Structure 1
């Protein structure tokens, strides 16, 4: 494992067109789980100039029957949820406005062939909602046990969004991207060599004194977010390097659910199985097993068993038990990786890492997903409370299983 290197991660704001799509999709997941905790949802969203389109497969009591007939008032609730999400993000622009955008709903019933493989029937437990591989990761670079480059990229944009919503930075518009490059020595971040921030802005903030004001504001945010000492005289800032960024969001570029999977996870510091999270109910292991893998990896690092940990899980559609569990502590573990794998298998509260076991232990059949859809699914809190997969309540169980 290299100990001296440069590494970079990026993030995008809640107003980025793909993130607008993710937030709409997860708002629909939450709406349906509120009506039926066992709802099946695969909701894809496309956003473009003053238009939002939903498509996908759904099933649930009080939502839609098997013939595609909507329960009373649900279609109107869906459209209201979409518009409220866009309004909360802050889009009231001529090219994308929460009240004036055109909305199309093409959601339809879930395939009966998928349902028969996934649902629990008779002696058959609930199966995985799809095949695939899922990864979880944790490292000791930050207090949240996340890669530092991604953690700081997220927090820069979160601070800017807070200032935009509060009116502290009225010249900011919703769309933005960040990128942080850190130099590592002995495996620890010691210097920020480059910071990139591109932010949509009000008219006129691309030249003269207003441009200087915007640049000074961004630099102040970065210096406040990054730990002391990482910003040096040699740090290079690229702020709106194209010059102007007035047209943004879905008016500037179409957005699609699930296109920011590296931003959503570990910023490139760990492998990715390829499945997106947003718009999917927790029977889809793309989502729930990825959360479980992060939960395991974080608890392994929190227990002091390793400084870095990658977990892989694999599933087949309709099959409850995972096909494989793989642990890699990248040479930083104090016990063997095979011993950790065996210890995980002894923790009965995980339910054998079946979809039902994961959902039950982490209490995933709740409407908790809208806050995950911007600024990452890992390493943070929502409304003051840790996401359930971010808790470190397995530490004692791991220690006991290894004793």
Structure 2
């Protein structure tokens, strides 16, 4: 890796149309898991001007039976979960309103062929819900062991959303994007060279005032001395941004997978997380690779690490485990590969049990990143560093 370079990551707010779709899909996941810890959900959402559309495959007691019949009130609960999500985000606009948008539910029972390959039966362990590759990453650039570019991009938008919800910035509307470019010296971030914020705003908002506000947020988030000159700060560079959210651009579940993970600092297997129950290894294996990577860095075994897992549909054990410490490791990578499966059972069921994933914990993951979040009871368990002492003893 080069010692000195520029690197950029972007984030999008909870009101970005793709993130609206992600949050609705994960609200459906939580609804099902709240009634049946073994529920199966693959929910895709599309949002556009005054429309919310769901599609996908589901199974779960209290919601839909094995014959494909909806339980009493289940359809109403799904619609209510979707509308409540939009309301919480803050959409009460003519072009997209939580209360008046058209709603269509095309969810249907999970394929029996998928179920027979994934479910436990007899001596057969639970298999992976699909084939695929998943990556986890950690770096010592920030206290949360996340890439600094993405860390600050998320924090800027979180602060703006906080101000919007509290009324401190009433001129803001929900849709927004940020982008942070940092200069690295000796592989460490030292300053920002470019900052971008585009935010939806109310009619007639003064653009100079918006720029001053956004610059104040940026300055409050970045470390002291990191702000670039005014010529490298871009706030609503196209001018007006009054029409936004799903009214301005259709949103789909799973289109912000780099925002959800590591901001481009790590490879990505291509599978989205939101809308999927934890038997889907796109989600659970991505969480456990982050968990293992974070613990390796927290234990001081490497300053930066990437981990890959791979699976085949219906097969319990991973096909491969790969560890790359990018030349920063203090111990042999092959030795780390040997020890990790002794600390965490890397089957779908083993991952879900270890990280307590069969619970309605996912709506909170669907904006501002699935990683780099603070563990909170059963939430964000994959961010815990409870393997550190075992890893230290092993080496």
TM-score range, shorter chain: over 0.9
1:173 partnered with 2:173: yes
Aligned to 1:95: 95
Would you identify which runs of 4 or more consecutive aligned residues in structure 1 move more than 4 Å? 382-386
Report the CA distance between 1:234 and its aligned residue: 6.9
Superimposed CA distance per residue, residues 9-36 of structure 1 (whole angstroms, 9 cap, x where no aligned partner): 0000000000000000000000000000
Counterpart Cα distance in 2 of 1:53 and 1:399: 49
Residues 45, 89 of structure 1: alpha-carbon distance in 2 compared, 3 angstrom cutoff: same
1:355 counterpart = 2:351: no
Relative to structure 1, is the Cα distance of residues 154 and 30 closer, same or farther in structure 2, using a 3 angstrom cutoff? same
- Aligned partners of 2:256 and 2:389: how far apart in 1? 34
Please, which of 287, 291, 297 is the counterpart of residue 291 of structure 1? Answer: 287
Task: Verify the 8 A CA contact 1:193 1:234 in the aligned structure 2.
Answer: no
**5+ residue gaps in structure 2?**
none
Distance in 2 (alpha carbons) for counterparts of 1:382 and 1:395: 15
2:251 to 249, 255, 259: 255
- Relative to 1, partners in 2 of residues 1:341 and 1:87: Cα closer, same or farther, differing over 3 Å? same
Residue matched to 2:125: 125
Equivalence for 1:401: 394
- SS of the residue 1:359 aligns to: helix
**Match in the other structure for 1:265:** 261
Cα distance in 1 between the residues matched to 2:213 and 2:378: 29
TM-score by length of 1: 0.96
2:309 paired residue among 309, 313, 321: 313
Distance 1:139 1:156, change over 3 A: same
Find the counterpart in structure 1 of residue 225 from structure 2. 229
Decide whether the 8 Å contact of 1:45 with 1:256 is kept in 2.
yes
For residues 230-275 of structure 1, the C-alpha deviation after alignment (integer angstroms, 9 at most, x for no partner) is 1143771010011010000000000000000000000000000000
Retained in 2: the 8 A contact 1:176–1:198?
yes
Partner Cα separation in structure 2 for residue 233 and residue 247 of structure 1: 29
- Corresponding residue to 1:325 among 306, 321, 324: 321
Tell whether 2:27 aligns with 1:27: yes
Residue in structure 1 matched with residue 63 of structure 2 by the alignment: 63
User: 1:380 touches 1:386 (CA, 8 Å); kept in 2?
Assistant: no
Asked whether the equivalents of residues 207 and 239 of structure 2 are also in contact (C-alpha less than 8 Å), the reply is no
Residue 388 (structure 1) aligned with residue 381 (structure 2): yes
- Would you say the 8 A contact 2:194–2:228 is kept in 1? no
Give the CA deviation at 1:75. Answer: 0.5
User: Where does structure 1 lack aligned partners over 5 or more consecutive residues?
Assistant: none
SS of 1:381's equivalent? coil
Query: Are 1:147 and 1:266, in contact at CA under 8 Å, matched by a contact in 2?
Result: yes
1-structure distance, mates of 2:378, 2:146: 17
Aligned equivalents of 2:226 and 2:11: distance in 1? 19
Native 8 Å contact 1:371 1:382 kept in 2: no
The aligned counterpart of 1:368 is 361
Determine the C-alpha separation between the residues in 2 that align with 1:26 and 1:131: 21
**Residue-pair matches, total:** 395
TM-score normalised over the length of structure 2: 0.98
Question: What does residue range 230-245 of structure 1 map to in structure 2 within 5 Å?
Answer: 230-233=226-229, 236-245=232-241
8 Å CA contact 1:314–1:322 kept in 2: the answer is yes
Counterpart contact for 1:192–1:235, Cα < 8 Å: no
Q: Distance in 2 between matches of 1:307 and 1:284?
A: 30
Residue 270 of structure 2: aligned partner: 274
Question: Residues 383 and 97 of structure 1: is their aligned pair in 2 closer, same or farther, counting only changes over 3 Å?
Answer: farther
* Residue number in structure 2 paired with 1:341: 337
Aligned Cα root-mean-square deviation (Å): 1.1
Q: 1:345, 1:79 → 2: CA distance?
A: 41
Q: Which residue in the other structure is 2:200 paired with?
A: 200
| Contact preservation (8 Å) 1:9, 1:179 | yes
CA distance in 2, matches of 1:401, 1:106: 50
